[in-house]
Amino acid sequence: MPGGDGTGPDGQGPIAGGGRGRRGRGLGGGFAQGPNGECRCPNCGHKEGHQLGVPCYNKKCPKCGSPMTRA
């Protein structure tokens, strides 16, 4: 692709996939929110800091025991 603009060889129109290459979904979609942020309980609203490498959905709320979500 000349210029990487999704037009294909010699600028002959768009290629399949919209020229996004192997990434496809862009910059992480709804996931991959980075190391900052917090985990929140959808049941009682308790919040605590997010730990790098530990998904929020793997943590249990210390107040009510519900699985946490990323806030």
Tokens representing residue 14 in the block: 């768009």
In a domain, 48, yes or no: yes
For residue 1, is pLDDT > 60?
A: no
Global confidence as pTM: 0.51
58 within some domain: yes
Please, are residues 39 and 70 in contact by the beta-carbon 8 Å criterion? yes
pLDDT the model gives residue 27: 46
pLDDT at 6: 67
Q: Which residues contact 26 (CB under 8 A, 6 or more apart)?
A: 20
Host domain of residue 53: 34-71
The domain total for the chain is 1
The tens digit of pLDDT for each residue in 27-52 reads 444 455 667 889 999 999 999 999 99
CB neighbours of residue 71 within 10 Å: 15
The model's confidence at residue 9, banded by pLDDT at 50, 70 and 90, is: low
11/6 Cα distance (integer angstroms)? 8
Q: Is residue 2 situated within a structural domain?
A: no
